[in-house]
Amino acid sequence: MSAATRLDPDLSQDILVVRPSKWTLVVVVQLRSGTMRFNELRRNMGGVPQKSLSQTLRELERDGFVTRTAYATIPPRVDYDLTALGRELLDLADQFHLFAQRNREAVVEARRQFDALDIRPA
């Protein structure tokens, strides 16, 4: 592949634009199907602390991956959406996810074997 030739070795520390938090890609994946509201995301993400979600969304908004639309109604309503850039990030998240699905078993097995050999009996 030609990817190698275009990669700057000196930038190897800068492989990521942003240092994704634990929840970053999860949010991006959640927003695949379109607009979602705060608590809707929260519910679908199984036990993410409010603060973590809030921070993650703010970061994603700040970096241009997500739009935040607030309606001045009572009760308030805030919609989150992916931007075009966010959808590119989603593509990347998908590739990671597919990689994980393809190789989870292999990794788990490698880990099991390694651990079996690595034990130094007292």
Partner DNA sequence: CAGTATCCCCAAAGATACTG
Partner DNA sequence: CAGTATCTTTGGGGATACTG
Strand-pairing partners, residue 107, are none
Q: Which of 9, 46, 47, 121 binds DNA (CB under 7 A)?
A: 47
Place of tokens 């997500």: 66
| Pick from 34, 35, 28: nearest CA to 89 | 28
- Indicate which of a second copy, DNA, none lies near residue 75 (CB less than 5 to 8 Å, by partner kind): DNA
Q: Which of 37, 39, 40, 98 binds a second copy (CB under 8 A)?
A: 98
Stretch that binds a second copy, among 7-15, 49-57, 70-78 (CB under 8 A): 7-15
Q: Give dist(CA 35, CA 41) in Å, integer.
A: 10
Q: Give dist(CA 36, CA 46) in Å, integer.
A: 15
| Pick from 75, 74, 56, 76: nearest CA to 66 | 56
**75 binding DNA? (CB under 7 A):** yes
- Indicate which of DNA, a second copy, none lies near residue 107 (CB less than 5 to 8 Å, by partner kind): a second copy
Stretch that binds DNA, among 1-9, 48-56, 89-97, 99-107 (CB under 7 A): 48-56
Q: Which of 38, 63, 87, 94 binds DNA (CB under 7 A)?
A: 38
Shortest Å distance, C-beta 113 to a second copy: 8
Q: Give dist(CA 63, CA 79) in Å, integer.
A: 17
